[in-house]
Amino acid sequence: MNRNTIIGSVLIAAIMIWWMTTMPKPQPAPQKVEKAIASEVSQDVKNESKNSLEIPSLKSNTDSTSSKAPAFFSSNDTLAKDSLASDSLIELPPPVLEKSIVVETDLFILKLSNRGAKVSSVIIKTLTDNEGNFPELIEDTSAGALDLKLDKTNLSDALFAVSPETPSKIVVDKDTTIQFVFTDPNQNKVIRSYSFSKTGSAVRQSNRFEGFQPNDYEILWNGGMRETEQFPKGKNIGANYFFSEIIYNNTYSVEREVIQEKKKFNDTEGKVLWAGLRRKYVAMSIQFDEPTDAVVQGEPLKGSKEKNNPGTYQLSVSDYLKGADSLNFNLMILPLEWTKIKSLDKDYEKVIVSGWQWIGADVWFVALCGLLLSLLKIFYSFIPNYGIAIILLTILVRIATTPLTIKQLRSTKEMGKIKPELDAINVKYRAEPQKKQAAIMELYAKHNINPMASCTGGCFPMLLQFPIFIGLFIILARAIELRGMPFIGWISDLSRSDVIWNGMSIPYIMPEGLSILPLIMVVTTYFQTKQSMAAMTDPAQRKMMIWMMPGMMFVFSAVMPSGLVLYWIISNLWGIGQYAIIHREKAVASPTDANIQDAQIVKPKKKKKK
């Protein structure tokens, strides 16, 4: 072997040794982990706190097509621990994809999203519009309702696992439950279940916690609530009878709140049985099984307040769990039909009408309104026309109050008979107040008139009638029974103005177009006011009242529901006829102005100076 061959062999051997020492060691096959690694992961999990929920990185879970490991594991996957064999492998769980499930019952269509396991849409099937479409109740469907926050950890964006066998559309014909499961890296679980019945207005929401016990919770309703009705066009004066309120039952009263900024309602006193949002004809609430110490907080939803729209609110309900491993409540979807919501025995009827608690009106006035609405429905059952039912109900109420009205009118009539003599006394003793008062009392005694009884007969009957009239006023403006119900001719919807021509409108007064019923009501109000003011002694005041009342009623009635205006017209016509019958006797002739002027004026005598 020559020298060149020896040198070449040495160089080749040196190169081989260098290459073998610098090459990287082979790595395990992709997606496989040795037992030592699995044990290390298992030990790390054991060392983590198991008393709190962990969401490592929700952002990495947003893109379901990413090849990265998901931020949390699905409910069917667990970490291999002591039982893992030497040749065992840990398979990364498949990513949880975003999914929506639509559930339809006889009363509503509800859409659930596994992002937060929230309610993203509620469509009510009992309030169709003129075209037969069902209205959407959630104002902001991307925000939705019933997100959950546990120990300040917000699960709104967490993707919950749902069984692959769960269809995307379910029509409920029997009791049905849909379950969503969130599992964090520590194997802590939040299991959210929604249960439905075919005809029930309640959606049962159950939250169960496994592996940890949260200290507090917060239910978030960020999407607000949308109005189901069309708002009047243009600016207007007076009540539109559209409502956007935060409602809650604090166990001793039902409160209805309108706010302009974030506010807590019962953080210092009162429990909560239910809390929610309300629009004109529908309400939704979070209803607990028993009264809780939860705090209700509301905040106006930005961007929801538009022209003639009072806007809606974000709502939250929060409390301590006090060691409980579950949280359960009902989501109530309630068309505000008196009979049905009263049957729930949770005071939901007080969402429609409430009264001053300090005089007990939250009990007796609510009952009175319920009675009036029941009578309206009874009349409708015999004659299926709510316009006729309103007329019959108005007549019935006027008949029931006739004895009091007659007493009032007769008292006014008796005072009218002695009015000429009162005028003469006022002129004669206008400079002697004490003698004038004595002369007036002598006149009352002469005609057997008790001024106190006269006042009672005139004022007290009106006070007794007032709650009935106010009750009718409220019921006819808010009763869902009148929604979309026609009367005759041009009155096609008793819950709205009776517009006959939208080509002509009066800004602020008749913004939607020309209406007929408000004009009829103005005429009848004028004549009834003129009759009732006949006994007023001050001509200037009488004239002002005669014109002020019709003008004021015209401004407000133009935007009132036509059923309410119809009630007012019939009531006015009844009052005019009743007054005419009581005063059919020939009125006593009033003294001429000359007689009054010729009355001897008594002046106080001046004392002579000594």
Q: Is the same domain home to 319 and 446? A: no
Q: DSSP secondary structure string, 213-257?
A: --SEEEEEE-S-----SPPPSS-BSS------EEEEE-SS-EEEE
Cα separation, 447 vs 85, whole angstroms: 115
Assess if residue 26 is contained within a domain: no
Q: Is the same domain home to 340 and 465? A: no
For the chain (610 residues), the mean pLDDT of every run of 10, in chain order, is 54 56 45 38 44 54 35 34 36 75 96 96 89 91 96 94 93 95 93 96 96 94 93 64 91 92 88 95 96 95 84 95 92 96 95 89 93 95 95 91 74 72 81 82 76 55 76 88 91 88 72 85 88 66 77 79 91 88 59 46 54
Give the CATH number, domain containing residue 325. Answer: 2.70.98.90
Q: Is the same domain home to 384 and 256? A: no
Q: Is the same domain home to 213 and 342? A: yes
Q: Is the same domain home to 177 and 295? A: yes
Assess if residue 230 is contained within a domain: no
Instruction: Enumerate the β-bridge partners of residue 122.
Output: 110
Q: Which residue type does 33 have?
A: V
Q: Is the same domain home to 326 and 433? A: no
Q: Is the same domain home to 441 and 341? A: no
Q: DSSP secondary structure string, 460-489?
A: HHHHHHHHHHHHHHHHHHH-GGGTT---ST
- What is the model's pLDDT at position 4? 53
Contact, 211 vs 50, CB < 8 A?
yes
Structural domain count, the chain: 2
Assess if residue 41 is contained within a domain: no
Show the CA angle centred on residue 192, arms to residues 80 and 107, nearest 5°.
150
How do beta strands 295-300 and 263-264 pair? antiparallel
Indicate whether this model's pTM tops 0.85.
Answer: no
Assess if residue 609 is contained within a domain: no
Contact, 112 vs 118, CB < 8 A?
yes
Assess if residue 34 is contained within a domain: no
Q: Is the same domain home to 379 and 341? A: no
Q: Is the same domain home to 343 and 389? A: no
Q: Is the same domain home to 131 and 185? A: yes
Sheet containing 108-113: give its strands across.
118-124, 108-113, 100-104, 169-171
Domain of residue 146: give its range: 100-225+239-352
Assess if residue 57 is contained within a domain: no
Assess if residue 44 is contained within a domain: no
Cα separation, 151 vs 135, whole angstroms: 36
Q: Is the same domain home to 373 and 336? A: no
How do beta strands 499-501 and 514-515 pair? antiparallel
Q: Which is nearest to 557 in space by CA: 528, 523, 514, 517? A: 517
Contact, 35 vs 41, CB < 8 A?
no
Assess if residue 344 is contained within a domain: yes
Q: Is the same domain home to 348 and 376? A: no
Domain boundary among 352, 380, 396: 352
Domain boundary among 326, 352, 378: 352
Q: Report how far Cα 307 is from the mean position of its chain's Cα atoms.
A: 19
